[in-house]
Structure 1
Amino acid sequence: MHPELASRQADCLLFDWDGTLVDTQYANYQALAGALAEEAVELEQEWFDARTGLSSADVIKALAEKRDLRLSRPVEEIVARRDALFLERACTVRPHTEVLKVVNAFDVRPFTGRPRSDLPRRPPGAAVPRRPAPPAAPRPARYRHAPAP
């Protein structure tokens, strides 16, 4: 870790899990490819990778438009299936070790806005808090103001 970062104090670190803390690219591809295969639609990984950052719904719509496809289910249902397939594969993702070093250098309490039922029991690469997080939701007012660097 950069020495300057190691000497800093922080009250809060915010990281996106998907693609930032852990490498989810291939698991996301597999999940969407699996959901589309149920529609008899093939998804090439190179085409998918070129659209990193788009929502699953936008990727599906772009693919349908590009190939002039008529899908048998609404996009929202295909996305829901993709999400279910991704959760089945969540244990296969691996942490981005350099980002994880930053997280682990601080005394953190991980939290998420997702419902608990949507989360794998122990996401790989997740920071393990040094003390248990309180059962209540985080208080957003704490995080509204960050000190200037």
Structure 2
Amino acid sequence: MTSLAVLCQIMPPPDVPAESTGSWAKVESQLRTALPSDYKQFIETYGTGNIGSLPITVNSPFAIEPSNQLIAAAEGTLTAFRILQESGYDIPYSMSIARRRSRQTRLRSDGVRGCLTRRNWQVQAGITNLRQIGTVLRRSIPVRP
């Protein structure tokens, strides 16, 4: 059983995934890197959204709302990490993204954050935190060496 199949058992995907289709070749060309196949399968199955009440947000490269877009979200995260680094916090890894966008593209003045397209997937009853999801997945999926 694949990891996606196990995940679908504990977190049923939506009937119609939000913002889940588009040209992967175009996205990978923009990023100048290949995206993992399991990420692509996840987006095609679930689309963009949040996992339950857990602090996990999955952004799609095909999102219409800029705050839901993979590249814009990555740039926002990188900006936050750079601010932390400039403030003296140790960020022990490299921070970069292949393509740059203007601040105006990333941030909207009205503060809207994709409330019409973002989905909140419900995790199966009894699984209330990320550690439990990891435990279920580890029991079901062999760990790669």
The bucket for the TM-score relative to the shorter chain is under 0.3
* TM-score, normalisation: structure 1: 0.24
Larger radius of gyration: 1
* TM-score, normalisation: structure 2: 0.25
